Structure 1
């Protein structure tokens, strides 16, 4: 029995990898995905000056990490509670009053799960629009499955209110199964594609000032990548001011050597995330983690750097 368990686990793992590979190769999904992206872009642009504030909230900039996983966890937990209460209400020998109470609690948990699912759908779509290729295709299927499950949850809630409890129980059970399958795809987007993870790469840890290059070697307005103590850095020069940041954007590891500084904000070249030039704080998403920034000084025309603060939960993942 002990020998069979690893084989079963390996088969499940291979099946999951096969499904992800299959979905990632479906290029026919690109057309509907780009059309959906254009619809989302139109809707956000229609917000005018409030666009950045709204998208920052949906991305989770204010939270310091993506908002979507938190809402998805709340939705899954609430629906899981509903399913558990449904099973409890179906056990034989329960008093009628207890069954009614359990059914009422199940309906309330279902309503909370439905509301959280709606929030997860909106935040997930906001994050998804910046994905590419295989991750975009897998994410589209992930979203379609979650939408289907959400429809079933809404139908289940309505059926329960009308007294059709068996239909409601069946609908939420099927929806929960779909949610579990979709959650696997969502996990793959995080752990395989790095979506939602801090991808800013290895951080410089130097307690002492260290010379890097002479100021005249750093071209005005042209970012320059340098290597120091095993960490990649990007230097920006504006007159006598020099800014040193991490090599990659925390969002999806865009090379910040291709970025630029606009009105005191460092701009990501891929998706337009903006960071404060002094602190690296996110000013505009889709990035939610800060850009590593380092202390800089000029000594006799030499640019010197000193390492920044250590991330309290570890290094970025990009290498």
Structure 2
């Protein structure tokens, strides 16, 4: 039976990436007994080749597991809770999830980015769209589902995430289309090699998805060639977005200062926000570098 639980802590950390786990490691080692609300940890299966200390490729999910386990070693209390709202107007600060209220003297926001979604007809929630009905959030969670196995799948994007998603999906799909609006990828060269060398991958250059359609579940997409203007209908059972990210700050309800794109504003040379006792670390406040190593540094 569900019940609401009230918790108290000196430090509450919100997030599940390099910044959040590093902040947890440091505060736990300082015997501050932090509570980490990690929500739904990212299922990003991108290969990581540039994090120091790993001479061989490691999956981002595996790297984050190591971060998490290190924070647990020093006594961090980790909860799989999604923060729905906060109240920064009172002391102690209150953080709310569906089943818990956490009172904290200090809050560290390290929520990182959310995946951007295309806003085209059919890409939204049911009944008008096919979100979670053939347009899943994460390849690693949904790529192997029975509805998508041995079916044609499409990935939209041209960056590192798109390459990782496409490469992973070849394990399950009959064919993987990479749809990219330009004539070359922006992904690092090393990450392009695997999908481009896979016979199950076909690249659709200079093109964008303009509509998703189907009967109860996604059955196809309409793709427009930006050079010729021609619109073609492609049969796919799954559509994955890898078109970038936006800062995960909506739950804050503008209680801290944000810039025009939703990033948390921190004071120069620090992680202090506009609210006393509230700090921000990682990509949620860093619009420049967006790297795991710099996120860990701010954590």
Q: TM range, normalised to the smaller chain?
A: under 0.3
Q: Which has the higher contact order (CA 8 A, sep 6+)?
A: 2
- The normalised TM-score by structure 2 is 0.21
- Determine which structure has the larger helix proportion and give its number: 1
Which protein is richer in strand relative to its size?
A: 2
Max radius of gyration: which structure?
1
Structure-1-length-normalised TM-score: 0.20
